[in-house]
Amino acid sequence: NWTPAQIIEDQVSRVREQVGDRHVLLGLSGGVDSSVVAALLHRAIGDQLTCVFVDNGLLRKNEGEQVMETFASHMGVNVIRVDAEQRFLDKLAGQADPEIKRKRIGNTFIEVFDEEAAKIDGVDFLAQGTIYPDVIESAAAKTGKAHVIKSHHNVGGLPDTMKLKLVEPLRELFKDEVRRLGVELGLPADMVYRHPFPGPGLGVRILGEVKKEYADILREADAIFIEELRRSGWYDKTSQAFAVFLPVKSVGVVGDGRRYEWVIALRAVETVDFMTARWAHLPYELLETVSNRIINEMEGVSRVTYDVSSKPPATIEWE
């Protein structure tokens, strides 16, 4: 029964011993696991750590700025931000199949990350935010036991061509322990207790073909939903909540004309293990506020719906 402070102290000395005076590369996504690794390694080895943050254009509103502010400005971590939005959009153009979209996003991420890594001299180690459940899951996948429904690319994304040694300081920890480490390391509570966000990001929350126009609308709608959930205290009562972009046009009356615009679906669930989930019984007043704000403050959305499907059979994401 170790305290977070003891685990940090232990890992800091283990990392120092493993790495010596050599250089470590980390793919920073802004998610809890890679963020905690960044903070931990920064404490252990300071400037010997370089993080690469790939902005794929499928992130939530202000996410890139927040990552840079927290790590680069605030903590003084070396972070290289790669603006790869156009590259991801090009790879996704014309693609409507969810699994193909996932693969393209995952592969493009690896390509971009590899290219950036090649520009940095003298890297010997690759750090990863692997946590204990990931270790179990990928072990199960290798023996064929796991029923792999979706091609998650969080684990096993290490390209074979990169002959780097791994640094995985969270390998023995569960998610709640990782969160407590994050708090102890001084990461903002908002970041540490954030809902999970899929690797392919908004790419799987825009149904069918991904376009910049859609991503921009979705980012705005999602930000309004999350802001109202936080304001009302419902963010922490739900396990995951987000907006989904539906590429269908629905009528709205504006002035004396009929205008056909996009539809936004809201999804909020309560779950313990993400294997089953119940749709969150959000108050009508909250849904009303969110809907009014999205329709009145934004261009291009005529209708908002709330998803009342539980898992199974409906998955949490719409793709």
Binding residues are 29-35
Bridge partner residues of 240 (DSSP): 269
Other C-beta atoms closer than 10 Å to the C-beta of 100 total: 12
Closest separation in Å from C-beta 108 to ligand XMP = 14
User: What binding mask, one character per residue, do residues 204-243 give for ligand XMP by CB under 6 A, x or -?
Assistant: ------------------------------------x---
Near ligand XMP by CB under 6 A: residue from 63, 200, 206, 244: 200
Question: CA-based Rg of the chain, rounded to a whole angstrom?
Answer: 20
Near ligand XMP by CB under 6 A: residue from 150, 171, 175, 249: 150
Parallel, antiparallel, or unpaired: how do β-strands 240-254 and 123-127 relate?
unpaired
Near ligand XMP by CB under 6 A: residue from 196, 248, 251, 281: 196
Phi, psi for residue 56 in degrees, rounded to 5: -90, 5
Of 24 and 58, CB closest to ligand XMP: 58
User: What binding mask, one character per residue, do residues 49-88 give for ligand XMP by CB under 6 A, x or -?
Assistant: ----------------------------------------
Of 260 and 274, CB closest to ligand XMP: 274
Point out which span in 46-54, 108-116, 146-154, 281-289 binds ligand XMP (CB under 6 A).
146-154
Distance (Å, rounded) from C-alpha 137 to C-alpha 171?
Answer: 12
Of 19 and 54, CB closest to ligand XMP: 54
DSSP the chain: ---HHHHHHHHHHHHHHHHTT-EEEEE--SSHHHHHHHHHHHHHHGGGEEEEEEE-S-SPTTHHHHHIIIIIIIT--EEEEEE-HHHHHHHHTT---HHHHHHHHHHHHHHHHHHHHHHSTTEEEEE----HHHHHHHHHHHTT-S---S---SSS---TT---EEE-TTTT--HHHHHHHHHHTT--HHHHTPPP--TTGGGGTB-SS--HHHHHHHHHHHHHHHHHHHHHT-GGG-SEEEEEEEEEEEEEEETTEEEEEEEEEEEEEE-SSSSSBEE----HHHHHHHHHHHHHHSSSEEEEEE----BTTS-SS--
Decide: is 130 part of the binding site for ligand XMP (CB under 6 A): no
Closest separation in Å from C-beta 116 to ligand XMP = 21
Closest separation in Å from C-beta 278 to ligand XMP = 12
User: What binding mask, one character per residue, do residues 273-302 give for ligand XMP by CB under 6 A, x or -?
Assistant: -x----------------------------
Near ligand XMP by CB under 6 A: residue from 61, 87, 103, 311: 311
Decide: is 199 part of the binding site for ligand XMP (CB under 6 A): yes
Of 125 and 279, CB closest to ligand XMP: 279
Near ligand XMP by CB under 6 A: residue from 81, 101, 152, 179: 152
Point out which span in 79-87, 158-166, 179-187, 308-316 binds ligand XMP (CB under 6 A).
308-316
Per CB under 6 A, residues contacting ligand XMP are 102, 150, 152, 154, 196, 198-200, 240, 274, 311, 315-317
